[in-house]
A and B are shown apart, each in its own frame.
Chain A
């Protein structure tokens, strides 16, 4: 046995393995930092910095300090940054490559903070905020009236087309049916034939039967013509019913077009429409990042889940994945306290069951914020949950913010227009949900006790600035749409209408003459079709009256006279027959 065993070899084995373990432990903080940075970078597509990593063995825990995730859309900003992340990790599941964190604490989370130096971007960010809005306030090169008419989808043009199409259709039908109507001579002929039949004195039954036969043939002819008259009348009524609203629409269309297009003469319609987004959109978008921040967390988790599913291909073999029958998911944070810093306040959010495999744990990730009165707001409540699986994300969230005090907020700072919110109170509530990665939702932000200051540099922006300065209350509605990781926010308010009306009361002489030209050209568009259609309509009405008269004369002629004559003759013949029978029987 002694010949087989080499005791110094055993010592050497432990020395070698001990040395390897010592090197791993010595550089463990470095490996964790490297792994965390690379992992997060592959998720976000931009540079990630971690200032320091420390660890403890009992209980096994890791603390990351100074975490910064570059915003791929704006590399000078951090998408998210945190002062400290502390995680207590279960060791046994790590052997099965499962990261189970019992307690996670993230403090000092901030969004959209400036970086010390621009971060590297590895993947192109999704479409940034529309640059064209920057140019929207320039009123030069206003289009001519003809260009406006050519480029705008006019109600007048549409109404003319619709009226003409309807007129053509009905006109053809009515003309065709009018041609088939019985002539005056034909109607006179019917009258004479009916009189002949009714005035004849029939001597016997044979003559009466012959007259009846003749009458039935005449009745069939009259019925055919009556049907033609009825059909014509119905077609005329249908044409009238169809044409009347179309003509009314045609008459009102130039007025409606004028009301819509005058904004184009007054200034840039697009600019007016987008003022809410332009002035308040950036700050509202920033605010939304706070309330909808949970989805920013969920998006990379989903991405990493999908990335893990992809089989790794390599020259030197590949890793084959088998069904994970273990009850634990690959990644799970049982409890997490995430503290988000906003100005001087810190908002604590409480999370449970953060994972990317909710089907395994059978419950969703839940999060909530319940912050009572602070120096900045009266109350803030936020509740939400999300469930990730192979088909995507299913999530719900609602928020309710009351009395957020705003002060000295730079809303817009551009060459042509700048605006600052000096003071105001913001209340906001809303709901958002995600189903199969498609986001939908809406919110409302009510601004009260507003004090705004704004400065413009031309006619258009001066009017906008004046309107903004006069605002004391306003309500902004927001629509949330898009997909996870590429959220779209749109804003609307009555500010746009207020601005359009303010613009119209500040028109120059040139703009006024353009408006007159616009009105005249719009009216000219309907003159032709309206005149022609009106005269045709009068003709249809005349025809309808004629058909009405003919129809009533035919109906009267047939129904009353002929039937009574036949009955009378029948009775006379019956009496004669009775008399003859009586004579034969009693004589």
Chain B
């Protein structure tokens, strides 16, 4: 109910589709990668400092965190193959012996694999979410708002609270 209220508020808000799409993209990266790490601080900074939609970020984070249950082994394999590649060994060794490398924790197979996987996925997620948001607003928003269930949600205290916070 709470999640749905968040989503509805975000979709019906005046925020641009790009703001919402960036929220989804950054939430996806944050959700797929391990929480502890320098990349999480960087994403948090971008999300808070730039006008990225927080609701879509939080929703995407929750959604993609769930996907990790299935995707983790595959992403860890990607990291494993990259870190054990003899061609890249020199680069990894240099990075390993630098403060930045240690803070990044790149030498953890899942951290590197998931970060790389989510970064490759990021532009596609960004564009697809932007298109879907625009299409929703043009084609479905009015129809959805007329749905009984949506009216119930909109009249709920939670939605009212979100609405008030948003203003």
Contacts and interface: CB of A to CB of B under 8 A. Distances in A.
A584 to B, nearest CB: 112
Interface in A274-320: 315-320
Interface string A11-29: 0110011000000000000
Contact of A13 (B49, B79, B97, B108): B49
Contacts of A95: 99, 102-103
Nearest to B99: A95
Given A10-B48, A13-B48, A97-B102, A316 B41 contact: no
Interface string B44-73: 110111110000000000000000000010
Contacts of A559: none
Interface residues of B, number: 30
A322 interface: yes
B129 interface: no
A317 B111 contact: yes
Interface in B60-98: 72, 76, 79-80, 83-84, 89, 92-94, 96-97
A10 B49 contact: yes
A128 interface: no
Contact of A5 (B41, B50, B94, B102): B50
A90 B67 CA distance: 41
B73 to A, nearest CB: 8
Majority DSSP secondary structure for residues of B touching A: helix
Majority DSSP secondary structure for residues of A touching B: loop
A369 B89 CA distance: 46
With a 10 A CB-CB cut-off, give which of A317, A319, A325 has the most chain B CB atoms: A317
B45 A13 contact: yes
Contacts of B103: 95
A325 B93 contact: yes
B39 to A, nearest CB: 14
Contact of B76 (A12, A96, A317, A326): A317
Contacts of A321: 107
Interface residues of A, number: 25
B110 A320 contact: no
B44 A13 contact: yes
Contacts of A317: 72, 76, 79-80, 108-111, 113
Contacts of B41: 17
A3 interface: yes
Given A96-B97, A97-B102, A319 B107 contact: yes
A6 interface: yes
A325 B47 CA distance: 37
B107 A322 contact: yes
Given A316-B72, A320-B107, A9 B93 contact: no
Interface of B: 34, 41, 44-45, 47-51, 72, 76, 79-80, 83-84, 89, 92-94, 96-97, 99, 102-103, 107-111, 113
Interface of A: 3-6, 9-10, 12-13, 16-17, 95-97, 315-326
22 contacts: A4-B51, A5-B49, A5-B50, A9-B51, A13-B45, A13-B48, A16-B44, A16-B48, A17-B41, A95-B102, A315-B72, A316-B72, A316-B76, A316-B110, A317-B76, A317-B109, A317-B113, A318-B76, A318-B108, A318-B109, A320-B84, A322-B92
Given A16-B48, A320-B80, A322-B89, 7 more contacts: A96-B99, A317-B76, A317-B108, A317-B113, A319-B108, A320-B108, A325-B93
